[in-house]
Structure 1
Amino acid sequence: MAHYTVVVMGVSGVGKTTVARALADRLGLPFAEADDFHPPANVAKMSSGAPLDDADREPWLASLRAWLGERERRGTGGVMTCSALKRSYRETLRADATGTFFLHLVGSRELIQERVGRRSGHFMPAELLDSQLADLEPLAADENGAELDVGPAPAVLVERAVALLDGA
């Protein structure tokens, strides 16, 4: 079996964690939730309703890059969630794991807003969705990855993701 290194990306509320956990289980790969790598100051800032800036994200992205690089070096592969909103962030993430595949989950603003509004116990307030959408730079044609619309059930998305990975 191939050992993929995958980042499931997109704005808050698209289902990154649900899809990434299921994909990791389906492929038998290690899983990491990027939110768990945020330093306390970042969590406090987002919890207060303030968006992170690039300086806030720098050490967080470095930690994620190290995790991905270690999975690639060991040959174990892995699946990680990460908003990866900007191309520069994705370039940082793949710096030590050049084969990383970015699976960009996309959906209408209305659907995503509805999902964010239903969540409880998450530090990312719904008010920050607009700032994420403003920052989002979709995958470019020369980036290793693909978009998936989040309308279908997670199990369907996982099977579509596996097909995309097998074709990559």
Structure 2
Amino acid sequence: MSLAICSLIWDAKASKQRSQKVSYDDDGYHLVRFPYEGESYDPWHMHDPDKGGSEPSKFPDTRSGLIWPSHDGWGVLSATVHWEADSTPSEYRARFVRDPLGDGYDSTGTSAANRTGGAEFHTYVWQFFVHPDVPVGLKITARGSGDRKVATPISHAQFKLAIHTDVAVP
């Protein structure tokens, strides 16, 4: 079975930024952004600044958080997020979203975890069918008491999509 793979990484040390500022959309989540330069693996050009708009995207705009699947197929999405140490949040959430910037917003695979104390390191995996005309994204949020959103920065993130392109049909 063949795979088409896109693997994105953003790291505070490598980018010479202290952290990625977290700002929340109307849905209470932040779309994690990834640079177009220095990606670990994207031979299918699924993280392309020319996709999804009339002008090229520039990191860290919202479109820099999208992966545009290169094929129809069964997508295995995975991610890791390293939150900076902050005593304010009591819960950390992440979700994979189809069409996170469009009219077809469809979140799936939402995960929640309680604060462990110190820095927070979380990994996530989810699977669903993907299509070239529907981008996918990783959205995160940190919540405090009373479900209050807390803008806790992240210091590292990875987002990966592996598409099984040869899905058998009975």
- The answer to whether TM tops 0.5 is no
**Of the two, which has the highest radius of gyration?**
2
* Structure with greater proportional helix content: 1
TM-score, normalisation: structure 2: 0.28
